[in-house]
A and B are shown apart, each in its own frame.
Chain A
Amino acid sequence: MDALAITLQYVFTGVAIGSIYAMVGLGFNIIYNCTGIINFAQGEFVMLGGMFMVTLTTVWKLPVGIAFPIAVLLVVLVGIGFERIAIHPLKNPSVLVLIMITIAGSILIKGLAMFAWGKEARYLPHFSGETPINIMGATILPQTLWVLASLLTVVVGLAYFFNRTLIGKAMRACAHNPDAARLVGISVKQMVTLSFGLSSGIGAIAGVVITPIILMDYQRGAMLALKGFGAAILGGLGSAPGAVLAGLLIGILESLGAGYISSHYKDAIALIVLLGVLFVRPGGLLGSADVQRLKKF
């Protein structure tokens, strides 16, 4: 392989994992916009998506086309259930309390997952085989195309939801001005529940499509969440296009760093870029400084 092909290879690998960071970042943003909090259980939704998929396809022997939506639905139920039980009943909780609750939720889900699926990494067959596709001397796995297609579907779906549907617009209204939203009859609590459902679903999709490539264990969610959080911050907290751009960027940089420098430093490289950008643009790549001042972080 020539240098160009090698670079391209690293980029492909980076885009795959970067798409996951992007989806996790989108999930963070949806809840953040609605509630002003970072949901530390976001990574666990990703993990659960992968784990449910493993069980549904290997134990229940369901075909991918059926297992995929079921796995996502199950995680959405977990997300909504978590919100309903732990967050919904609270009256005027502070941001700090909410964050503690999501941390507790994360630990709890991790623990339950360890009981259910054990400590070992779980394997999931690739959805469309493992025959690499050749592109300009580099190769790309069919599973990577699944990952990219998922990201695309999520992005287009969210754009439609937030710009074209009444409920989507109501969620945006709620994020922008909760009091005004209530005055037109929008229930903020309903929107918060919905935001948890939505972001757990997106997390689950990410978890389902990435598990064949990276395997999944009960702790995997945490690292993905950390990178996804990086994507959300780097892109500008609350900005959806920012999260996608930054997620892909972090994924690609990580992969290039691992390839050209050393895989020991790949996490550090992403982090240095993150800090570097935030030093120059505290609001993130696509976040406006104006909005940033009003937010709670």
Chain B
Amino acid sequence: MLKVQNLKSYYGRLQALRGISLHVGKGEIVTLIGANGAGKSTILNTVAGLVSQNEGKILLEGKDIRGLAPERIVRHGVALVPEGRQLFAPMTVVDNLELGAYVRHKNGSKIEIRQDMEMVFDLFPVLKERRKQLAGTLSGGEQQMLAIARALMSRPRLLLLDEPSMGLAPKISEEIFRTIVRLKKQEVTILLVEQNARMALEVAGRGYVIETGQVVVQGPSADLLRNHEVERAYLGKTYEKVWE
């Protein structure tokens, strides 16, 4: 599905990615974990087209999409749920969803879009109750759900999720993660960035550990969960416990 080869991204003179290579197979959930500032968001943003200075290859089903504008990339079936949600705060839930399907409106697919809206309401029933409410007035959890729902409205083949559990209570995070698992069953391919590494590795099949713009460890989630280095650095266990 997605194959990233030797990707280097820059913000002006600052190099944020130092040659990242990773791949996500069709129907897989793959997670990226790493400390603050490691470059996780930069990877997703570069794939989505928001970071314009970069080198390397970003192959989507064999086609290089690197260098395309974000509004083109979403038409190739890649949707990013950005860090911090980035909703259209002064607009209603329904308007946000309608705009999520912006790339599909031209084909005169009004009925299909209605159906998809029902589909995301089914996924997040609370959004249906709040359909006329302004996005900016939703709770944090509801906003995250709306951000995911808005991305789904473009019918992505590949969904990029940037810290969906950020700032949410554990119970709400769990709900979000349950949805991610449900999406996998609907054959959406997911690349997930998470601070909560344990939860991420529980839903993902494989993972990459990112440090200062490089992949330092990679492998199946089960291996990463057992890896001492990963455990110490990202899973919140103390040194002593590892050595017990």
Contacts and interface: CB of A to CB of B under 8 A. Distances in A.
Contact of B88 (A177, A185, A188): A177
Contacts of B80: 183
B74 interface: yes
B50 A184 contact: no
Contact of B86 (A166, A180, A187): A180
A186 interface: yes
Given A169-B99, A177-B86, A180-B86, A185 B75 contact: yes
A177 B89 CA distance: 9
Contacts of A185: 71, 74-75, 102-103, 154
A26 to B, nearest CB: 18
A184 B100 contact: yes
Contacts of B87: 177, 180
B216 interface: no
A169 B75 contact: no
Interface stretch (B24-32, B90-98, B124-132, B190-198): B90-98
A172 B91 CA distance: 9
Contacts, number: 68
A51 interface: no
A188 B70 CA distance: 10
B119 interface: no
B222 interface: no
Nearest to A291: B90
B210 to A, nearest CB: 22
Interface string B152-174: 00100000000000000000000
Interface in A170-190: 170, 172-173, 176-177, 179-188
Contacts of A176: 88-91
Interface SS, A side: helix
B103 to A, nearest CB: 4
Interface in B132-166: 150-151, 154
B99 to A, nearest CB: 5
Interface residues of B, number: 27
Given A173-B91, A179-B86, A186 B98 contact: no
A296 B74 CA distance: 29
A183 B69 contact: no
Interface in B61-79: 69-71, 74-75, 79
Contacts of B98: 166, 169
A56 B70 CA distance: 44
Contact of A186 (B49, B82, B99): B99
Nearest to A187: B71
A183 B88 contact: no
A16 B99 CA distance: 38
B105 interface: yes
B48 interface: yes
B147 to A, nearest CB: 9
B90 A180 contact: no
Interface residues of A, number: 17
B238 to A, nearest CB: 39
B102 A166 contact: yes
Contacts of B95: 169
Contact of B82 (A166, A170, A179, A188): A179
Contacts of A169: 91, 95, 98-99
Interface in B93-124: 95, 98-100, 102-103, 105
Centre residue among A170, A176, A180, A181 by max chain B CB count within 10 A: A180
Given A166-B98, A166-B102, A183 B86 contact: yes
Contacts of B89: 176-177
Given A183-B79, A184-B154, A186-B71, A170 B102 contact: yes
Contact of B150 (A166, A182, A184, A188): A184
A169 to B, nearest CB: 6
A162 to B, nearest CB: 10
Contacts of B99: 166, 169-170, 173, 181, 184, 186
B98 to A, nearest CB: 7
B71 A182 contact: yes
A184 B100 CA distance: 5
Given A173-B91, A176-B89, A184 B82 contact: no
Interface of B: 48-50, 69-71, 74-75, 79-80, 82, 86-91, 95, 98-100, 102-103, 105, 150-151, 154
18 contacts: A169-B91, A173-B91, A176-B90, A181-B99, A182-B49, A182-B50, A183-B50, A183-B74, A183-B82, A183-B86, A184-B99, A184-B100, A185-B71, A185-B154, A186-B71, A186-B99, A186-B102, A187-B69
By Cβ-Cβ distance, the 3 closest A-B pairs, closest first, are: A185-B103, A180-B86, A182-B70
